Structure 1
Amino acid sequence: MINKVIASASEAVADVDNASTVLFGGFGGAGVPYELIYALYDQEAKDLTAVSNNPGYHEEGIAKLIAHDRIAKLLCSFPVQKDSYVFKEKYKQGKIDLELIPQGTMAERIRAGGAGIEAFYTPTGVGTEVAKGKDKKEFNGITCILEKAIKGDFAFIRAKKADRWGNLVYNKSGRNFNPVMAMAAKVTIAEVDEIVEVGELDPEAIVTPGIFVQRVVKRS
């Protein structure tokens, strides 16, 4: 019997190794897998590469990992925000590296990673620092730069409901980066509000099929 439900967040993240690449779902405060993040903090993995839309607020979410020097590199779209002072200080101190990625490009790089597309060309970023060192080609008179797919060792995502097979539905804007991240990691761990019986989820409402999810944890 397929059962991907794990008893606790700490058990679900126990095998995250040092120097792993972890994709963290969420947009602002919506769809952030906070319990998995804090379990990872307690687990003490370090030298991580984190992929996230933002670096967390105050010392919440991945900001807590950054504050305690667990993240060595951040791939991010919005690193500088009013309440993201933890990241700003660590970056000024040279304690964390940053790869700044336009938001749409980041989403597409992650989607490509899950779809088996190793790289693609886009006009976004041409003529800016984003294009530095990247291959350029012209298509239909439009200059484009080569962007490589983003893949993770782990993806920490948040959903509204799951069944024991790992099928997921999301809550409105909580969907954001979570579905594409689920596809792009070797091990996807879903933190959910509710676990239901197989067959209870409307097949038309399932956004992430269980084939992309290895572990499910119910929020405490």
Structure 2
Amino acid sequence: MKKKLVVLSGAGISAESGIKTFRDSDGLWEGHNVMDVATPEGWKKNPELVLDFYNQRRKQLQTVEPNLAHKILAELESDFDVYVITQNVDDLHERAGSLKVLHLHGELLKARSTNNYNLLFEWKDDLLSTDVDENGFQLRPHIVWFGEDVPALEEAVKITLEADYFVVIGTSLQVYPAAGLIDYVDSNVPVFYIDPKPISIPNLRNPLEVFANVASKGMLILKERLLGF
């Protein structure tokens, strides 16, 4: 039976593909204040701005490709039972070939009804204010905005509890509740942390290896490390 490799990925893994992050201190995402485009309040205040913002992100996503880090994670499925829990809303993990991907914060290429969270639609084109569900309710980006519940969290916790190896890649571990997943890793399970600017992880009981590299370089090192076990 293959060992279970659970990966928590964040914006840093997609940055090498050309997708900008809003991890920096200015709080801007593609020139927008995140409070204007990634909160329920922003949506209520100016839905047209929010729709346009995600329409632009959707167009951008179609111009980029998975990078080496995404591809190595997919390749590791030959040797491990790999589960990717991602904070990212892009589909680069899937396009690289990863088969088990759980999106904590939603998916850019889906829309959902404002009246029913579970009523989802595949969506690759622009999402407009005239797009509604069968009952006439406005569609919105299928994104978990700041201040909203994270419905996939319970499943993510279950996956994390079963990990034989746990990898944190390209995330600052500052966004909760996603960052709290590391607290559910069994204390005997090795944790590998890949980030060019790694932070200290307080109260971590696990064996820890830190690779202070960008995602692709870190994954090259980690692949050799894992295959050596």
In the superposition, the TM-score normalised over structure 1's length comes to 0.38
Flag the structure with higher strand content: 1
Which is richer in helix?
Answer: 2
